[in-house]
Amino acid sequence: MAKRRSNGVIVITGASSGIGQATAEAFARQGARLVLAARDGVALETVAARCRAGGAADAIAVATDVTDAAAVKALAERARSWGGRIDVWVSNVGVGAVGRYHETPMEAHAQVIRANLIGHMNDAHVAVPIFLEQEDGVFVNMISLGGFAAAPFAAAYSASKFGLRGFGEALRAELADHPDIHVCDVYPAFIDTPGIRHGANYVGKKLSAPPPVYDARKVARAVVRLADHPRASTVVGAVAHLVRLGHAVAPDLSGRIMARFMEEYFRRARRAPVTDGNLFGPPAVAGGIDGGLRASAGSRALAGAAAVAGAVALSAVGVAIALAIARRNAGR
């Protein structure tokens, strides 16, 4: 019988907007007790209030920078002293920097790795001992389709997400003898959040995401299900399966196709300020859950080009599969 953890004590990092906020509100509807963490304490308090009004047994905000191991340890201590235990830890922080690798400051690359990879490792480093002591717990490791396929013009982001996938697999193997402790990797496709708007931009062009772009609440529902029905790997959004297949069959070709698509997009996109975004501090304006990508004119204008790029990518996958089969048959 599945254990009910979705109404327990839930820690969510990166909870001030986007997927983190959507996940907090989804757990609130289950009557959970919520410990919400992010760098922006004011935005967190707003989300905590929404959660209390939305059904949470209680919700507190703990301003935390996950790149600071001591701060994450303090977060865990606060959560356990407040809630008595921790049932689920959702490691959700994610930042990005878009730009050609050699034109993006090295400190920006390093900060992406610190937040997206080391931050999640800091989370797990304090959560796992608590779970071992309790002999129960779920660690949700939020990755992205970027964990399956490289993202040209976001090299550090790719490195962090590939690293997260390896980290999750290694940690899951270490904990295999503890059947009630789970490490759940989540791979969302392109999600409509303020993340792109908040991210660092070193290309000087307006950033968007190719369709289809999914609602962050879809990811949140998947995370709530994992609390009660853990599984090692969860993909959210059908396009992520296609990206995974394309990379598995023809990694170099799929990467080149994406790079050409990005170059064409940047050529057409409107100019925008070059900025560090939220890499080194909270965004100037709190974002909420939605980023407006599903309704934006830019996304609609890109739909045709994205469809063509997708068709080319799928054709390339088909050709690669056919060639692989032909080679195998020729060797018989």
174 class by beta-carbon count within 10 Å (0-12 exposed, 13-18 middle, 19+ buried): exposed
Percentages (nearest 5) of helix, strand, coil residues in the chain: 55, 15, 30
Instruction: State how far the Cα of 317 lies from the Cα of 247, in Å rounded to an integer.
Output: 8
Question: At 65, which amino acid appears?
Answer: D
Instruction: State how far the Cα of 308 lies from the Cα of 267, in Å rounded to an integer.
Output: 17
Which residue(s) pair with 33 in the sheet?
Answer: 9, 58
- Which is catalytic among the residues 101, 157, 187, 265? 157
Contact 177, 222 (CB under 8 A): no
DSSP 117: I
Contact 15, 24 (CB under 8 A): yes
DSSP assignment of 118-133 equals IHHHHHHHHHHHHHHH
State yes or no: is 187 an active-site residue: no
**Residues noted as catalytic:** 157
